Amino acid sequence: MKKYVFPVIIAAMAGAFSLAQAQQRKAQPTLQKAEPKKKIIHKGKAFLSDGKTGSGKISKKAFDSLIAYPLIAKDSLGREHKVIGYTFSYSERGLYEDSMGTPRIMADFYSTESEGGQLPAFWLQNIRERSKGGDTAYFDQVISKYTDTGKSFFYAEPIKLIITE
């Protein structure tokens, strides 16, 4: 009889523990689904300072010269407006070795916020030195201000540029 006392105590403790967990689960409030994130509605298109270059391929020479100037945005009527801010991301491709010594092409990502619709000077210098064919530049969350009212803002479509030689 003594040899059955210990297993009976263990079984009773396990039953009490599972009962306590079941009561705890009942007491917890049910989780509600999170509200979906509001989708950004683009009311215009963004371009580099020349007013023509949007998403697509661009030569290194043209890219290095145009990123020094602020972006512009065109509204749905084709009127140009000043861009007041954006997020700039840069994807630099490079050849690396993995842990087994196998060469692989991988990307390093860099990101910053613009200062008044323009890249900070140290970023500009760094990007010009590092840019090469195969790298990609993103101008995202482009915000522009209507020039006629000066108070209303709109989002412009992002720019994705692939640098060529």
The verdict on residue 4 lying in a domain is no
The verdict on residue 27 lying in a domain is no
The verdict on residue 14 lying in a domain is no
The structure tokens 């140290």 sit at 122
Q: What is the pLDDT of residues 98-143, one digit of tens each?
A: 889 899 988 999 999 998 888 999 999 999 999 999 999 999 999 9
- Count how many domains the chain has: 1
Alpha-carbon distances, residue 148 vs 21, 79, 86, 133, 145 (angstroms): 63, 10, 21, 40, 9
Residue 42, C-beta contacts closer than 8 angstroms, at least 6 positions apart: 154, 155, 156, 157
| Range of the structural domain that residue 47 is part of | 42-164
The verdict on residue 6 lying in a domain is no
The verdict on residue 135 lying in a domain is yes
The verdict on residue 8 lying in a domain is no
Q: What is the pLDDT of residues 132-161, one digit of tens each?
A: 999 999 999 999 988 777 678 899 999 999
CA distance 139 to 66: 13
- Note whether 58 and 161 are within 8 A (CB): yes
pTM: 0.70
CA distance 34 to 90: 31
The verdict on residue 129 lying in a domain is yes
Residue 63, C-beta contacts closer than 8 angstroms, at least 6 positions apart: 131, 137, 161, 163
The verdict on residue 3 lying in a domain is no
**Taking residues 24-50, what's their average pLDDT?**
70
